[in-house]
Amino acid sequence: MGVVVVVVASLAGTASAQQTPPTPEQVRAGRIWTMEGILERAVSFGAESVLRQVANVIADRPSLSGYPEVRGFPLVGHGMFFYVQVPGLQLPVMWSMRHLLQGPDNRELMLTVEQLSRRLARLGGPEGDDLRTLVRQLQAQMAQPQPAPGAGRGISAASLVGGAAPRPAVDPDVVQNPHAVYTREVKDALIQAMLEQGPTLALGPDEWLTVAARDDEPRDPLRPGDAVDLSTWMIRVKGSDLAAIRSNTLSVEDARKRVEVSEN
């Protein structure tokens, strides 16, 4: 009987230990970990919009140089700080040549490509194989029907897939400068995530939620002399504004006007 009492007492002690509430440090660490995941998904969400639109302009889908990475930690007397590594946008090689394919008549270009193809036939080795692959891609693009005059900028979806149903419209800014649009979309997605999820961090009214996002733009492979364009954005929102969002006394739209954004 005594043994039974000891076992019951032991189980009761274990259950009591399991019900011990988490410490403030554990709660804070859990909130930081959750926010890290939210910011990573925000970067991916902003990037996907640009990737999809670029793919609607040219057949080859662009890619990112890696995955978004986020690290967060508390700053005494300041609030919460998150560092976001934003992967670079890598455009297809054919993107830099797309303007050659936009004219209504590309016969001269086709003749030039055919001459290049004949010369490459005499070039062996891996380098020759790579160049021949690129020429075949260019020939395939030119073989597709060209968009009618006034159909808009860029190559139409139908011209790329041989008469398939039109794809959604592409923002003209994406055609002109996809890297700038990529930066804009990712930045907007981060701000939205900060305003929607930042209130869960329970910051003090005089504390700040700060996100430093580093954007690494890769070199253009067709322009070897280009330098890599690196920029860092600092995005801040005050704890009192986050608290007002949580209490429904400030809308997310109005809070967005109070977000501080700087770039260097």
Most confident range (mean pLDDT) of 23-27, 41-45, 139-143, 152-156 is 41-45
Q: Which of 110, 135, 161 is where one domain is finished?
A: 161
Q: Diameter of the chain by CA atoms?
A: 100
Whether residue 8 is contained in a domain is answered as no
Whether residue 18 is contained in a domain is answered as no
Whether residue 15 is contained in a domain is answered as no
Q: Which of 108, 136, 161 is where one domain is finished?
A: 161
Residues 257 and 184 in one domain: yes
Whether residue 69 is contained in a domain is answered as yes
Q: Which of 138, 161, 184 is where one domain is finished?
A: 161
Whether residue 166 is contained in a domain is answered as no
Predicted confidence (pLDDT) per residue in 56-85, tens digit: 877 777 889 999 999 999 998 899 999 999
Residues 81 and 197 in one domain: yes
Predicted confidence (pLDDT) per residue in 81-137, tens digit: 999 999 999 888 777 666 555 555 555 555 555 666 666 666 666 655 656 666 666
Residues 31 and 121 in one domain: no
Q: Which domain holds residue 136?
A: 94-161
Count of domains in the chain? Answer: 2
Percent of the chain past pLDDT 90, that is, above it, reads: 39
Whether residue 194 is contained in a domain is answered as yes
Residues 196 and 83 in one domain: yes
Whether residue 19 is contained in a domain is answered as no
